[in-house]
Amino acid sequence: MGDPATGMTGKVVDSVVHTSVATFYSNLVTRPTGRAVRSAIEEQLQGGRGRCVSVLDFSQVGVLDFSCADEVIAKLLRRYLRSDRPSDAFFIVQGVLEHHRDPIDAVLRRHNLLLVAVESGRPALWGPAPGRLRAAWDCLDRMGRLGASEFASTYGVNQATASSWLRRLVNWRVAVPESFDSFSSLPAVLSRRDGGEAPEAGRYPAAAEEMAPYGPEPSGGDGHPRPSGDTDPYPSAPGGSKPLPAY
């Protein structure tokens, strides 16, 4: 059952698919190996109806090279970012170790992608997110579930601006919409699906340097897609030169 006051539904996702990546290969090296793993993951998601969270577990993976990270992570994310994606799937990786991070982060930055990763038990946003987008994700991650009005109040911006930034997280598949203006973090969705409580505010103490100010960014577009009705005019394609406005 949903909450009629907030418009939130009780069923945010229809299924969760857990995949131990080491089931396919314990060492992910060479591009053909990466293609085989990605194909197996996509096959697991075929035929699913509704919204799905795919949890990719790297805890038993030994070696991960850059070519496999490109095939397994980057190409998978790119396919499910497209409007003609095979299914409404969101991805989160867990069990990532220090030696996994460099190749994954490198391919995310090369292809301008974002990914939620759980490292040492703590979720983080990986990839080249600009400061204000990262601040939105950090806020959502701490709260677990968040409405645009709450975000607007936290950062002192109008609700249209708050909604715009939260919807960008959805566009990049690192947050899940619950209703028109309410959103959940991927870890919170998994927690509720597993029968646990939604994470509470302040679940992770935020260091000051992690709380990017919701103000101007350095010049240059961030390359992230803009939802319809977006309120700020910064360029949406890489290489733009117009600075982000302050609110």
* Residue 68 pLDDT > 80: yes
* CB neighbour burial string for 61-93, b if at least 16 within 10 angstroms, e if fewer: beebebbbbbbbbbbbbeebeeeeeebbbbbbb
* Residue 237 pLDDT > 90: no
Cβ contact 56:34 at 8 Å: no
* Minimum mean pLDDT range among 58-62, 109-113, 213-217: 213-217
Domains annotated on the chain, with CATH: 14-128 (3.30.750), 129-214 (1.10.10.10)
Cβ contact 181:149 at 8 Å: yes
* Residue 226 pLDDT > 50: no
pLDDT, residue 211, reads 30
Query: Most confidently modeled of 11-20, 75-84, 149-158?
Result: 75-84
pLDDT, residue 11, reads 66
- Supply angle C-alpha 220, 171, 131, rounded to 5: 40
pLDDT, residue 195, reads 55
* Average pLDDT along the chain: 77
Per-residue pLDDT band at 212 (split at 50, 70, 90): very low
The tens digit of pLDDT for each residue in 151-195 reads 898 888 898 999 999 999 999 999 999 877 889 999 999 988 765
Note every long-range contact of 18-21, with CB atoms under 8 Å and residues 24 or more positions apart, other chains counting: 18/55, 18/57, 19/44, 19/54, 19/55, 19/56, 19/57, 20/57, 20/59, 20/60, 21/56, 21/57, 21/58, 21/60, 21/61, 21/72
* Residue 197 pLDDT > 80: no
* Residue 238 pLDDT > 80: no
pLDDT, residue 179, reads 78
Comparing 223 with 126, the larger pLDDT belongs to 126
pLDDT, residue 191, reads 86
pLDDT, residue 194, reads 62
% of the chain at pLDDT higher than 90: 51
The tens digit of pLDDT for each residue in 92-142 reads 999 998 899 999 999 999 999 999 999 888 999 999 998 889 989 999 999
| Gap between the Cα atoms of 226 and 234, Å rounded | 10
* Residue 247 pLDDT > 80: no
